[in-house]
Amino acid sequence: SIPRNKHRERERERELENDMMRKYCLLLLSLAMVVAQQQKRRSANLHKAAHESTVRNILLPKFKPDGKQLVPGNHTSNVAVLVSSSRYWFNYRHVTNALSMYHLLKRGGYSDDNIILMLADEIPCNSRNPFRGSIFSRGALGGEGDDLMADVEVDYAGTDVTVDAFLRVLLGRHLSGEGDTPGLYRRTLPRLDENTNVLVYLTGHGGDNFFKFQDGEELMSHEVASVFSQMYEMRRYNEVLFIADTCQAFTMADQITAPNVFSVGSSLKGQNSYASHGDAEVGQSVIDRYSKSIKDFVDDAVAMAPSQSNTATSFDDSTVAVMERLNAFDALVRVPTMHGELGKSSEVGYTSRLCKRRMSEVPLSDFFAASSEDRNNLISRSSVQATIWKADDFKVQADSNTDERECKIMPDNWPEEDEEYVREEKPLRKGVSAWDTEMLVLIGGFIMLVSLSSKFL
């Protein structure tokens, strides 16, 4: 009877242990489900779920007090020249490419005085546009989408967008009647000197060593090289970041010899640069993959990074904080390559061989945000007026105080790295951080399973 009682006691102990193990497993399963739901909700707020681990690996550690910070350059001002050179409705996406970069710059503290925006076509006013006066990169959503024409100042539009105008802007050579003179050509060119960082962004159609302007003329790679060399001799820049989003884009940098010019192309020689996605309401592809990948990643990084208190209404402190910690190589080369889905036959080309710094040492804010001095001096504007020309007598006007924009006839006197292509940077760590909630749950569950299994051994 005694052995039988011991046997029963052992069976009860085993039942208790099995019951406890089942409870532990149910608890672990419940925690895993909670974590999965949190992950799903968090990823749903991002443009791309894969950005989450990348932001955690390369960016969030830099927000810690002991995080390694990037050293900003020695420039005192920033100027950007953004060009969408394509005409016709089916090139809708090229306008959204340029406007996406424009809004990133504005969030970084750029004033319109330091941005030259050149749009070759009047896409918002095109007769086939179902949402007149508006343009969308993420989808129209019945006209409620993110309208990129809100609060935009266009400097050159329509037939004014030419190779000659582009080169004149960089060299600071006004046409007769331009400058401070009242009238149609009221535009003034930004001041450039040896302390100015210059961002040059081109989007449109191109090929081997050429970039098309409105299907009527071409900007050649040797002209790009020449204008940068002239700017260097004229002391019109501190550093230049040259970005081309077009087919065979990187060939536009083939002949650049001026020092301190970083060059990035969305595709290499013989490769295409592809559209991202279309919108059924618009009826066109609404943005290109490369430009979209940059904008989406910065947006997702801002969403995940510690929020910053805004000190000015004219720029976003959280965006600036991210740009100060995100290096240009990660933002413009590595992330588009990893997450941009550029296509099997598209690779990002880049070079910093003529520069004092590597791209991985350059904060994105050195080119995509106003200098700290300029940000401190910014005064918020209550109203920004956007004007774009279809022809000499056709304009669209927008006002930031209202949501209504119209396309109408206006009077003529309307006031006005070491190799060419290298991959020597260390690849991003894949997976999760040791401090992720998912990792902590897995570690806790493993410890519980080990402790329980030891009782049966």
From the candidates 51, 75, 94, 247, give the one annotated as an active-site residue: 247
- Report whether pLDDT(54) > 80: yes
Check if the beta carbon of residue 87 is closer than 8 Å to that of residue 215: yes
Average pLDDT over residues 443-447: 67
pLDDT of residue 261: 97
CA distances from 443 to 33, 58, 188, 454 (A): 16, 23, 61, 17
Lookup: tokens for 366:
């050195």
- Report whether pLDDT(23) > 50: yes
Average pLDDT over residues 389-393: 42
From the candidates 205, 339, 355, 407, give the one annotated as an active-site residue: 205
Higher pLDDT, 317 or 98: 98
- Report whether pLDDT(412) > 50: no
Total Cβ atoms within 10 A of residue 247:
23
With a CB cutoff of 8 Å and minimum separation 6, the contacts of 146 are 136, 137, 138
Average pLDDT over residues 434-457: 59
Q: Is 2 exposed, middle or buried (0-12, 13-18, 19+ CB in 10 A)?
A: exposed
Torsion angle defined by CA atoms of residues 147, 150, 155 and 161, in that order, rounded to the nearest 10 degrees: 10
pLDDT of residue 240: 97
Higher pLDDT, 357 or 26: 357
205 is catalytic: yes
pLDDT of residue 433: 44
Higher pLDDT, 200 or 150: 200
The SS3 of residue 327 is strand
pLDDT confidence of 20, banded at 50, 70, 90?
A: confident
pTM: 0.76
pLDDT of residue 435: 45
Average pLDDT over residues 170-188: 66
pLDDT of residue 141: 84
pLDDT confidence of 440, banded at 50, 70, 90?
A: low
pLDDT of residue 255: 96
Q: Is 8 exposed, middle or buried (0-12, 13-18, 19+ CB in 10 A)?
A: exposed
On average, the pLDDT of the chain sits at 80
pLDDT of residue 446: 66
Higher pLDDT, 78 or 390: 78
Annotate 356-396 with DSSP letters as a single string.
SS-GGGSBTHHHHS--HHHHHH----S--EEEEEEETTEEE
- CA-nearest of 44, 78, 43, 83 to 291 is 83
Average pLDDT over residues 295-308: 88
Q: How far is CA 272 from the centre of its chain?
A: 20
Check if the beta carbon of residue 346 is closer than 8 Å to that of residue 266: yes
Of 156-165, 221-230, 302-311, the poorest mean pLDDT is in 302-311
- Report whether pLDDT(132) > 60: yes
pLDDT of residue 22: 76
Average pLDDT over residues 119-127: 86
Question: Left (φ > 0), alpha (ψ -120 to 50) or beta: where does 139 sit?
Answer: left
CB-based burial, 367-398: b 16+ in 10 Å, e otherwise: bbbbbeebbeebeeeeebebbbbbeeeebbeb
Higher pLDDT, 61 or 178: 61
- Report whether pLDDT(399) > 90: no
Q: How far is CA 417 from the centre of its chain?
A: 21
pLDDT confidence of 33, banded at 50, 70, 90?
A: low
Average pLDDT over residues 172-201: 76
Residue showing tokens 């970041």: 241
pLDDT of residue 32: 67
| pLDDT > 90 fraction of the chain, expressed in percent and rounded | 42
- Report whether pLDDT(324) > 90: yes
Of 49-53, 136-140, 395-399, the poorest mean pLDDT is in 395-399
pLDDT of residue 450: 62
Mean pLDDT is highest, among 61-70, 227-236, 333-342, for 227-236
Average pLDDT over residues 287-310: 88
- Report whether pLDDT(434) > 80: no
Higher pLDDT, 188 or 364: 364
pLDDT of residue 413: 43
